[in-house]
Amino acid sequence: MDLSEKSIWHSSYSVENSTIDDEHMQILQVYKELINLVENNNNDRQAFASILSKLTDFSLYHFKNEEKYMLNMDYPKFKEHKELHREYIYQVAMYNTELLSVNPPKLIDIINFVKDWLDNHILKEDIKYEQFKNERKISVKYTQTI
């Protein structure tokens, strides 16, 4: 299975906000690190868990920025969106814990979960708050935390 084609940024990912798009691209970069391990037949679960932790850390950073942004625009589906973030972090944390167990999940299953989540979340959920902002001509800036 050629995973590299599954990790290419394409214009359909854009939410029409360059700062958010940049953060999504960074998440995709870390995701590519996971793919590289698998494609190079590196089954080092410790290395995979380390990169998965890096992905989780950056996702938490991004989610914090995104949630603040949604709150500042009074996005009506904020709670539902935040719950999706929480569910993702929980699932990735469970994968990370299970990676070092006696019966670890298959690396390809984790990669597929992350890719499906990224596709569905960016393409179906993240686009909604930006459309909401634009339709209502809300002037709110997306700011990044330190």
Q: What is the CATH number of the domain that holds 46?
A: 1.20.120.50
Q: What is the rounded CA–CA span in Å between residue 34 and residue 49?
A: 9
Looking at the whole model, is its pTM more than 0.85?
yes
CB crowding 2-38: b at 16 or more within 10 Å, else e:
ebeebbeeeeebbbebeebbebbeebbebbbbbbebb
**Mean pLDDT value of segment 104-110:** 89
Domain that holds residue 40: 18-135
Instruction: Answer yes or no: is 1 within a domain.
Output: no
**Tell me, what's the pLDDT at 1?**
45
Instruction: Answer yes or no: is 143 within a domain.
Output: no
Other CB atoms within 10 A of residue 71 CB: 12
Domain count, the chain: 1
Q: What is the rounded CA–CA span in Å between residue 5 and residue 2?
A: 7
Instruction: Summarize pLDDT for 28-56 with one digit per residue, the tens.
Output: 898 998 898 888 877 788 888 899 899 99
